[in-house]
Structure 1
C-alpha cells in the first residue's frame, strides 16, 4: 500500500544555503580552443598558405631589388608584399570575427535545457523552477515524459519506469520503486535511485535531490554539448557541389593565366607552348585526382610540377632571351603564380559557408523573437522547403486553456457539490485519480502543473472551494493504473474514510470507454440520453470525460494485465471541457495553404470534434467528404500502398494512436513531401524524429523537445507559419549572395585572363584582388545574410527540394551582367593600353595608337571602375526576386552599415597615400572630376534596374 504524503520541501533560506554548499545544477562545459588558436585555424586553408609563401618570396625579391639592384623606387618595392600580408590578415581576421559572432548566436542553444521548468515542492506548495535552480534537498515531482533534472532518491513511485539508456546503454526502461521487495540486485543503478538526464517513460513519483551539476552521474561523464552544424541538408549538399564546380573552373582559369602570361613573356614563341603540357597535366590531376590522394602525394606532385615549370622556364629563358637578366624572369614567374592563386581565392566563394552560417545564426536569433527556439541549425533552412505540416490540435490550434464548460453528474441534480455521498465520491475521485496539481504561488489565479485537462478538473474543485490537496493526504492509495492512449482511461484503487473498511475504485477517461465498463448509471439515466449529450458537446469541439466508481471488498480483483476487470462499476456522469481555437490560427492556416503547404490534423479526439476544429480554422470545408478524414483504426487497416494513394487527400486523422503520426510522416515522405510535424508528448517523439523538421511545443515533455528540431515556445500555429517564412527568406538570401558573388567572379576571372593574353600588366594586382575578395565576398556575405524576411515569400509555392540553387533567372543574370561588366572593362583595358588617358574625359576625343602599356593612373581607373560597378550591383542583388525597389532599406541597418564600409574603404584606398602604396594605386589618387564620372556612370547599373522595376510596377 502506497500513501501519498504531504511534503513541505525546502524554504527559500534553505535553498540558498544548499546552493552555496553544493553548487548550482549546471554542468561545466569543456574548455574551448583559445581565441588565438581559433584565429590560427583560419590559416590552415591551403590557398592561404600558398599566398603566405608567395608573399614571403615576394618580400625576399623586394629585399634583393632594394639592396642588390638598388631599385630606383626605393622602399616602395616593399609596399606590395606588405599589402599582400595586410590583405590576408584582414580577410582572415574578418572571417574570424564573424565566426565568433555566429558562435555567440548559437550559444543560446546550450542554455536551453538548463532553463526548462521543473515541478518542485518548496515552502509547502507545488511550484516550478528552472532546471538550473534545482538544489540538493529539493523534492521534485516527475511524470511520464519528464527528464530527470538531478540525481536523487525516490520518496514515492507509482508504476514508474525510467529510460537510463543515456547512461547505461540499456534499451529496456528500468523499473523504479521504493519497495525493497521490488529492488533489482543486478540493476545498473539502484531501484530507488533516479539520475539526471534519464527520462520517465511511464508512471510518476516524487524524489529528493541528492546530487546536482557536475556531481551527478551524468556530470561525471559529461562532454559539453556542441552545436551540430555537420548535418547535410539539401541546401548544404547543393552548396558543396557548387563550391566544387566553381573551384574546378577557377583551376582552369589559373592554368590558362600561367600559360598565357609565360607565352606573352617569351613573345609568343611556338616552343613556349610546350609549357602548356605540364600545366594541363598538373591541373587535370588537381581537378580529377587530388581528393583521392594523401596529403604527401599531393605535396610531391605539386613540388614536382613547380620544379619542372621553373627548370623549363630557365632553359627557355637561356635559349630565347640570353641577354636578359634572370631576375626579371623570376619576378614575372612569382607574380604569375601569385595572380593565379589569388584568382582561385577570389573565384572560390569562401564567403559562402559564412553566408550560410550567418544567415542561420541571424535567423535563429530573430526566430526566437517570433517564439521559435531553433534547437538544430539545419531546421531553419528545411522549414522553407516544407510542403506538409502535420499538427496536433490541443495547444497548437487551440489555446490549451482547459476549463470545465459544463457538467452532467447524474447523482447531482443541480450539478453542485453538496454534503451527500455521491458528491464526496466525486470530489475524491477527481482529486486522487489525477497526476496534475496546482501552483498556488498566485493564490487568486492558480497555475495548472501537468496535464491541462486534468488540471481543469482540479480548478473546478478549487472554484467550488474544495482542496484537492487535503483529500489526497487523507487517502491511502492501494494501486494505480496510469492513463495510456491505448486503453483511454486511468484508474486508482484507494482506502477511503468515506466508506469505512471498504476500498473504492475510481475510473476516468473517454466516456464511451468508461461507460462500457459500467454495469449501471447513477439515476438510471438511459444510454441514449448520455449519447445525445456527448454528441452535443463533441459537435462544439469540446473534450469530454466520463467518471465511474465502485465500492469493493478488500479481496476483490480489480486490475488484470493493465486493464480494469471489475464488473459492478457505476457511471457517475460526464464533463465537457472546452479549449477554444486560438484567434490567430485561422489566418495562419490560410497563410500556409496559400503558400502551397498542406495542413493535416492528427488528434486523439472524435471525428466530430476534429471536424469542428477543422471547420473553425478553415481547413474543413463543405467540399470535403469522408475521403478527407479517417479514424485511427481505419488508418491502421490500410496497407502502405493504399495509404500512399490516399495520403494526399487526408486532412484529419481522428482517434489517432501513438504511432499513427509517424506512419503518416513516412507515407508523405515516400510521396516526396517535405514534412514538418508538431508534437508535445512522449508518444510524439517517433514522429518528431522521423519528420524533416520536428516542432515541439513549449510546454511539451522533455522527450518531445529532445526529439524535435524547433521548439514553438508559445505553442501557436501562427509561429509555425513564421518559421516557414524565415526558412524561405533565408534560402533567398543565400541565392542573392551567390548571384552577386558569381557575377563578380565572371567579370574578374575573364578580365584577368584577358589581360594575361594581351600582354599587359595584370589589370588587377594581387593586393587589389584580395581587397575585391574581402569586400565582394566576406562583406557581401555579411550584408546579404542579414536581410530581414519578406512576407511576400508566403505567396510562393514551396521550392523543389532537389532543384539546383542557381535557377534560370539567376543563371541569365550571372552570365548577362557578369559578361557585360567584363566587356565594359575589357573595352576600357584595350583603350587604356592603346592610348594615353590622363582623365576619363579623354575618352570623348579618343585616338587609338600603338600598344603603349598601362600607366598607374589607368590601372587605378580600371580598378576603381571595377569595384564601383559591382558596388552598385550589390543593391540590385539584394532586391533580386523581391518585387521591391533596390532602394528599399526598411529593417536593413546591417546592410547599410556594410555598404558604407565598402564605399568609404574604396575611397580611402584610392586617396590615402599610405594605402595607395600598399594597393598599387597611383600617387595622388584620382581627380574629383573622375570620381564624379565613375560614380555617375557606375550607378547606372542601379538606375536602369530601378527604371525597369518602375515600368513593371506601372504596367501591373
Structure 2
C-alpha cells in the first residue's frame, strides 16, 4: 500500500478527476481481486483419472483389448470396462463442476457495492470495483471499506476489523490511521484516501498466498489407494498362479507339445483365463460407488446447509478428529447483546424519569448515535456502534421504540465517546428542564458520582467476560454541564452471546470423538469464559498466540495435543496450529469467516467457511460452505460424512465377496476338470451391471444415530475392517464350495452341462444378491430392515428380475437354458437361506466378541 505521503504526492487529497482516475486504474489496477486460476474443464475432468482404482481399470482395458483383438472376439467386455470408467469419472466431474457453479453465483455480486467518493470535485456513488488508488472515499456508520487506505479525517470513527483480527469489539480510528478493505465502519464518519486496491490490498495479498498447493491426500483417498494396491496384487498373483498351474498341467497332459500352433493356441487360452481373473479381481464398480456415494452425500449436505465445493470433503469431514473454530460469528452471533442488568428490565417513563430503570431506558435510547435497520429478510442490522446497538436491541426486545423516545425528547448537545474519556454524554430537555445523561465505563462513572456506588455486581459480570456499561445522570443548573456530582442509575452487561445451539453442538462433537478447539483474538480471560460456556474447555490448556509462536516446531506439536483455547491469536496462528495437529495424525477441520482464517482453511484437511458472514477470501479457501453460518451444521456434515464412509464399506463388502468368489472359481474349476464357470458375457454382467446397480442400492443407506456415538475412524485404519474380512472369507468360502459342488454334481438341478452351468449361474447371482442384505449390517449391526433405504429393495428386486429374464430369454447371448419354476424355487431357497443364516451367525459372533471385550460399536 502507498504511504500517505506517496499518495499526496501522486494524487493529492481532494479527490480525483475522471482522467486521473483512469490513469490510476491503468497504473495500480482495478479494485477487483483476481480469482484463483481455474483449470480448463478438460484438465478438471482428466484429474478424475488420477485414482489408483481407475489406473488399474485402464491397465485391464489395455490387456483386455490386446487379447480381444488377438482372438477376434471379447471386445464387448473391453467396452463395458471403458463405460464403467467413463461413468465413474463423469459423475465425479459433473458434481464438482455443478458445485463450483453454485459457488460462483454466491460470489457473483461481491464487487457491486455502492461507494461514496469525490470525483471531479463532486460527491458521487460508484461501484466498489471502480475505486482506484488516490480516490477520496466518504465513510459513515454502516459502510464497508472498499480498499486499503489512510484516514484524512475521523469524527468518532470506529471500524469492525474482526475479519482480520478476530476481535469482535470495534477499533477506534484516528486521523492518519490506516483502514483495510473488508472491514466495516460501525460508528462515526470520516474521509479516506485509497492507497491499495484489488490484489494489492491486504485481503488480496492473503488471497494470493492461497494459490500455493499444500494439499495432502484425504483419508479416503489414502485408504482406497492402499486397497487398490492390495486388490491389484491379488489379481496379479492369481493370474501368475493360474498360468503357471495350467502350463504345468498342459505339459503333464500332453497339451503342450513344443513350438507348434496347438501349443500356441493353448498358451493363448491360458493367458486369456489369467486376464479374466485380473478383470474379475478388479472392482470396476468401486469408482462408481465412490462417485455415487459422494454425489448423494453432497446433495444431502447441501440440503442441510452445507455447500460442498470439493467432493471428497464429504468423507473427510466424517473422519475429522479435531475442529479448530474461531469465536466471532461462528460460536457467537457476532452481535453484541445485553445479557444482564442491575434492573429487571427497561421501563418507559411517563414524564420525567423516576426509577433507575426509567433513567437507564432514557439514557440508552437518547444518549447515542446508532440506530437499527430492519431488512427485507427480517434481519435487524445495527448501523453504528455495536455497544449502542446492543442497548437498542435490549429496548426493542421489551417493546420499547427508541425512535419515539428520541422524537419526544430533543437533544441539545452531545459529547461523543473517546478512548481517553471512556464515556459519552448527552444534554436533553425534559419539560423545560435540562438533564445530563452519561454512559461509560463503570470505574470512570463511579468516580464522577456524588455517592460512590457498589461495584461488586459489575465485578461479577466482568469475571464472566462481559463488557460492562454504567449509566448516570444529573440535572443541569445554569450553564454547568460538567460531568460531576452524578446520580448513579445502574449498569448492564454486554457480550457477543453464543449461538443458541452451540453448547449442544459442541457436546455432540465431543460425544462423537471430535476435539473442539477455539482460536480467537480475544484476551485469555474473555476467551476462557466463552469457551467454558460453550463446553469447549475439558481440562486442556489455554495459551496465547504469542506463546504458541515462540515454541519450536516440535514443542508446538506437543502443546497442540492438550490445547483447548488459543487467545490473542494472530492470522497465522490458526494455520500453525493446524500444521501441528496434522503432525500428530489428526484429521483437522477448520471453521472461519474472516480473511485472516483463509490460510488455515486452505491447508486444513477440510475447511468450513461461513456463507453469510464469510468473506469471499474465506469462502474461496474452503472445501465446504456453511450456508446458515451455524456451527450446528458441522454436526450434520460429520453425520453424513460418516454415513458416506460406511456406505462405501458396504459396497466394498458386497463387491469383494463376489470378486473373491469369481476369482477362486475361475481358478479352481479348470484344475478340477470342470468347465469354465463363467462366460465372458456373464463376467460382464457380474462385474459391471450388477456392481453398478449394487452401488445405487448400498450407497443410498440413510445415516443412523449410531454413527455419531463412536470415535472417528483413524486416518491410518484400513477401510476393510476385521468384521468385513471375516464376512468375505466365510461367505466367500461357502459360495465357492457350493459352486464347485454344483458344477461337479449338479445337486441343485440340471442333467446336461448347459443345465448344470445355468443353475450354477442363477444360484451364484441369487446368493450374491441376498448377501446384499448382510452387507447392510456394517460392523455386525443390522439397520432397520425396511426403513431408510427403499432404493435397496427396488434395486435388489430389479437385479433378480433381470437375472430371470437373462436365463429364460437370453440363452443365445449368455449361453444359458431356460429353467422350470420348480428349479427357480429350489435355487431361491438353497441360495438365499444359507447366506442369510451365515450372515446372522457372523453378526452374533461379533456381537458376543464385542460385548466380551467391552468394545463399543465402531471401535
Pick aligned residue for 2:741 from 823, 827, 834 = 827
Q: Is the 8 A contact 1:698 1:711 kept in 2?
A: yes
- 1:772 corresponds to: 686
CA distance in 2, matches of 1:448, 1:672: 43
Between 1:229-238 and 1:752-761, the stretch displaced more is: 229-238
How far, CA to CA, are the matches of 1:229 and 1:402 in structure 2? Answer: 37
Q: Which residues in structure 2 correspond to 1:274-313 (within 5 Å)?
A: none
Q: How does 1:384-783 map to 2 (within 5 A)?
A: 384-399=318-333, 402-405=336-339, 426-428=367-369, 430=370, 438=373, 440-441=375-376, 446-448=380-382, 456=390, 465-466=402-403, 523=449, 532-533=457-458, 535-536=460-461, 539=464, 542-544=466-468, 576-578=493-495, 580-604=497-521, 613-614=530-531, 616-618=533-535, 628=540, 630=542, 632=544, 635-636=547-548, 639=551, 647-653=560-566, 658-702=571-615, 703-783=617-697
- Name the SS for the 1:132 alignment partner: coil
What CA distance in whole angstroms lies between the structure 1 residues aligned with 2:717 and 2:315?
14
Residues 605 and 654, structure 1, Cα contact 8 Å, conserved in 2: yes
Give the Cα separation in 2 of the matches to 1:899 and 1:158.
Answer: 66
- Does the C-alpha gap of structure 1 residues 377 and 316 become closer, same or farther in structure 2, counting only changes over 3 Å? same
Tell me if structure 1 keeps the 8 A contact 2:749–2:756.
no
Distance of aligned partners of 1:400 and 1:133 in 2 relative to their CA distance in 1, 3 Å threshold: closer
CA distance in 2, matches of 1:337, 1:684: 57
Q: 1:636 to 1:457 in 2, by over 3 A?
A: farther
Match of 2:272 among 338, 363, 370: 338
Does the C-alpha gap of structure 1 residues 201 and 441 become closer, same or farther in structure 2, counting only changes over 3 Å?
closer
Question: So what's the TM-score if we normalise by structure 1?
Answer: 0.62
Q: Does residue 1:366 correspond to 2:300, yes or no?
A: yes
Q: Is the Cα contact below 8 Å between 2:780 and 2:847 reproduced in 1? A: no
Question: Can you list the C-alpha shifts for 1:206-232, whole angstroms capped at 9, x where unaligned?
Answer: 99xxxxxxxxxxxxxxxxx99x99862
| Aligned residues of 2:364 and 2:388 also touching (Cα < 8 A) | no
1:403-432 deviation digits (Å, cap 9, x = unpaired) = 3456799xx995779999x9999424x57x
Structure 1 residue aligned with 2:63, among 46, 50, 60? 50
Tell me, what secondary structure is at the counterpart of 2:542? Answer: strand
3-state SS of paired residue (2:686)? helix
Counterpart residue number, 1:855: 753
Q: Please say if residues 314 and 641 of structure 2, whose CA atoms lie closer than 8 Å, have aligned partners that are also in contact.
A: yes
Asked if the contact 1:375–1:710 (Cα under 8 Å) also holds between the matched residues in 2, the reply is: yes
Partner of 1:287: none
- Is this contact kept in 1: 2:359–2:489, CA < 8 A? no
C-alpha separation in 1, matches of 2:668 and 2:780: 35
Using structure 2 for the length normalisation, give the TM-score: 0.68
Q: Which residue of 1 aligns with 2:767?
A: 869
Matched ranges for 1:218-297 at <5 A: 232-265=217-250, 268-269=253-254
Note the 1:41-190 alignment, pairs <5 A.
45-59=58-72, 81=73, 84-93=74-83, 95-97=85-87, 99-116=89-106, 131-132=107-108, 139=115, 150=129, 152=131, 156=137, 175-176=148-149
Report how far residue 910 of structure 1 moved: 0.9
- 2:832 is the counterpart of 1:898: no
Would you say 1:916 and 2:857 are equivalent positions?
no
- Measured after TM superposition, the shift of residue 716 of structure 1 is 2.8
Change in Cα spacing, 1:522 to 1:427, as seen in structure 2 (3 Å) is farther
Q: Are 1:599 and 1:619, in contact at CA under 8 Å, matched by a contact in 2? A: yes
Q: Kindly state the Cα deviation for residue 948 of structure 1 after the two structures are TM-superposed.
A: 3.6
Q: Give the 3 Å change call, closer, same or farther, for CA 330–761 of structure 1 in structure 2.
A: farther
Please report how far the alpha carbon of residue 27 of structure 1 lies from its aligned counterpart in structure 2 after TM superposition: 12
**3-state secondary structure, aligned to 1:45:** helix
1:580 Cα shift? 4.9
| 1:418–1:363 CA distance, 2 compared to 1 (3 A) | closer
TM-superposed deviation, 1:773: 0.7
Q: Secondary structure at the match of 2:677?
A: coil
Query: What is the CA-CA distance between 1:523 and the residue it aligns to?
Result: 4.0
Equivalent residue pairs, number:
723
Corresponding residue of 2:311? 377
Superposed displacement of residue 751, structure 1: 1.1
Q: CA deviation at 1:634?
A: 8.6
Matched with 1:122 is none
Please, what is the CA RMSD of the aligned residues? 5.8
Q: Secondary structure at the match of 2:368?
A: helix
Q: Could you report, residue by residue, the CA deviation over 1:338-364 in whole angstroms, capped at 9, with x for unpaired residues?
A: 332232122112322332222222212
Q: 2:698 aligns with which of 771, 774, 784?
A: 784
Residues 546 and 360 of structure 1: CA distance in aligned 2, closer, same or farther (over 3 Å): farther
Query: What SS does the aligned partner of 2:717 have?
Result: coil
Gaps of 5+ in 1: 3-24, 60-80, 117-130, 142-147, 160-172, 180-198, 208-224, 273-312, 319-325, 432-436, 482-488, 499-506, 549-569, 843-853
Name structure 2 gaps, 5 residues minimum. 9-33, 118-126, 141-145, 153-179, 193-209, 344-352, 429-437, 473-485, 852-859
